[in-house]
Amino acid sequence: MITGLVLIRLAAGKETNAIGEIKKIHGVKGATGTFGSWDAVAMVQGNDLETLADVVISKIRSIQGVAMTETLIEVGV
């Protein structure tokens, strides 16, 4: 199982709806709004890197209001 943290930049005024939609995605284990350079962070899991990439690219990035993402892959240290 691979875990990643997805840092998400959202369009102004779209935060609540976008985070709610992100939480509904299969593979997203949690999502919350944040203050700072990133507007939200989501924890995602997949059986392999390809599955994790699909969650981020095909699902999270397709949500209206998601402007940009950066994914940090857990290394298990």
pLDDT digits (tens, 9 = 90+) for 1-55: 999 999 999 999 999 999 999 999 999 999 999 999 999 999 999 999 999 999 9
The predicted model scores a pTM of 0.93
- What CATH fold (topology level) applies to the domain 2-73? Alpha-Beta Plaits (3.30.70)
**63 pLDDT more than 80:** yes
pLDDT for the residue 57: 96
Confidence category of residue 77, pLDDT binned at 50, 70, 90: confident
Largest CA distance in the chain: 37
Contacts of 69 (CB under 8 A, 6+ apart): 6, 7, 8, 9, 56, 60, 61
pLDDT for the residue 76: 76
Q: Give all strands of the β-sheet with 2-10 in edge-to-edge order.
A: 28-33, 40-46, 2-10, 66-73
